[in-house]
Amino acid sequence: MTSTTSAPPAQQPKSRPGDRIFAGIAKGAGVLILVILAGVAVFLISESVPALTASPDEISGDGGLASYIGPLVFGTLLSAVIALLVATPLAVAIALFITFYAPRRLAAGLGYVVDLLAAIPSIVYGFWGIFWLAPRLVPFYRWLEENLGFLPFFVGPVSSTGRTMLTIGLVLAVMILPIVSAISREVFSQVPTLHTEAALALGATRWEMIKMAVIPYGKSGVIGGSMLGLGRALGETMAVAIILSGSAAGITWALISSANPQTIAANIALQFPESTGLAVNTLIASGLALFVITLLVNMLARWVVNRRADFSGAN
């Protein structure tokens, strides 16, 4: 007769003081972020109440708060979308070249140079845009007016200085390029080797391998990186303020004329030093609109990035 003995219960790992301290610090850091975010939201809402409840006659401009913030939101979204449309294809191309085409030594150096673009202060980008880029774009803008002037985006008259919404979009594209490129490189480098080698073994060229194995795997990561770059472009202040200083044309789709819509962040930076009373509350209300837009963009980026967890090699 065999006797059966039950296995001894598994012992719980002993909690050490260092583990408890580290867990408490990590939890406190997470709670602190939420507290700071809630504090910023409460401040913006409380300071925006006077502007939200004021009569339209007391708000700068005609039509009240909505007509004041509306063109700013339009200009913010327009400049950010232009930057995203220009930067995303270029960043993906750079990431693919560094990951799959460039020699190892060149790839390391080129990736470092691209990442260095994120370390350049925005005021330097502003000076570069206004003194170097803008004057050199004027002949190109005249060509756009002559050949594509039937489109609302390229309606003249062309700005003689080149300080236009399209110039802002190009400057912002350079500024968000390292963000999108870095995330895209990271995603592409994590493609399972089994996928790429299987594609090559079946006779695919390198480009066909990228199209069939790499891009489908990293698509959601590229979208998430693009959304993070969009959030960066939405909040840019100094570069836009320097290039578009003194320009406030309301809502217009013209990208190459001297009449350009202003962005929320640049408008706050330009108007805040001379504002008092209700004008300050109006600027803070526009900041609240930017806060909501940026929060929604980052939430969308997080949702897209989290979808990568559902991807598997079997899919």
- pLDDT over threshold 60, residue 1: no
Question: Using one digit for the tens of pLDDT, what is the confidence trace for 181-201?
Answer: 988 888 888 888 888 888 888
Q: What angle do CA 263, 126, 111 make, to 5 degrees?
A: 105
Question: What average pLDDT does this structure show over 140-154?
Answer: 88
Q: How many residues does the chain have?
A: 315
Q: How many CA atoms lie within 13 A of 258 on its CB side?
A: 7
Q: What does the pLDDT average to over 134-151?
A: 89
Confidence label for 54 from pLDDT (cuts 50, 70 and 90):
confident
pLDDT the model gives residue 160? 85
> Which of 171, 187, 182, 206 lies closest to 94, judged by CA?
182
Cis peptide before 157 (omega within 30 of 0): yes
225, pLDDT greater than 80: yes
- C-alpha to C-alpha distances, 191 to 27, 103, 114, 222, nearest whole angstrom: 32, 18, 21, 13
pLDDT band at 4 (very low <50, low <70, confident <90, very high): low
Question: Could you read off the pLDDT of 7-24 as tens digits, one per residue?
Answer: 556 566 666 777 788 888
Domains of the chain and CATH, by start: 76-276 (1.10.3720.10)
State which H helix or E strand residue 136 sits in: helix 134-148
The tokens describing 42, both together, are 């409460």
- 297 token code pair: 């963009």
Six-digit token string for 200: 């090559």
Round the average pLDDT of the chain to a whole number and report it.
84
pLDDT band at 280 (very low <50, low <70, confident <90, very high): confident
The residue with greater pLDDT, 56 or 114, is 114
- Determine the pLDDT at residue 314: 40
Q: Output the CA angle 306-89-191, nearest 5 degrees.
A: 45
pTM for the predicted model, two decimal places: 0.84
pLDDT band at 308 (very low <50, low <70, confident <90, very high): low
pLDDT (0 to 100) of residue 35: 93
Task: Determine the pLDDT at residue 313.
Answer: 45
